[in-house]
Amino acid sequence: MLTARPSTPEDVAYLAPRLRHADVAEVLAAGGASIEESLMDGLASPDGCFTAIDENGNPVLMFGTAPHPALSEVGCIWLLASDEIAKHRTDFLRNTRPFVERFHQKYPLLMNYTDCRNTVHHRWLRWCGFSFINIVKGLGPGDHPFYEVVKLRNDQCVTPSQ
């Protein structure tokens, strides 16, 4: 059973050496200096970020949004996970949509880029209702292709924050 809570620097230290190979490859292909730096960037986001922990209290993944640098109505959604996510796949998917709705309370448009090789991320993003709208190159040092993904808020489905 996974539960989510606000992330801590200790989560970064725990997860950085345990991330899925595909997540590490994606961070590096996008030009991230290191896994630790990428996780710390998420932790430092003005939006905050969350850590899903297992029944033993061990971090399994970190996720959240960051404001788009040029567009205030756009949030960049992200997720980095350990291999332990496979043991909690159903629980994770069951609890994902409320967080996406929560992110949509702030941002009418959620977007990001995902490495074309990271099929686990693709399944998660499709489950959450994201559309794959473009293939782009040149985001990182290797000119590797990334999918551009977006999800537009449906105001009929978003509950206003209290």
The helix (H) or strand (E) run that includes residue 100 is helix 89-106
Looking only at Cα atoms, what is the longest distance across the chain? 45
Helix, strand or coil, per DSSP, at residue 96:
helix
Q: Radius of gyration (Cα) for the chain, nearest Å?
A: 15
CA 43 – CA 76 distance, rounded (Å) = 14
Predicted local confidence at residue 98, as pLDDT: 87
**The predicted structure's pLDDT at residue 116:** 94
Element holding 60 (H helix, E strand): strand 59-67
Tens-binned pLDDT, residue by residue, of the chain (162 aa) = 899 999 999 999 999 999 999 999 999 999 988 999 999 999 999 999 999 999 999 999 999 999 999 999 999 999 999 999 989 988 888 888 888 889 999 999 999 999 999 998 898 899 889 999 999 998 888 789 999 999 998 775 555 554
Q: Which two tokens stand for residue 58?
A: 């061990």
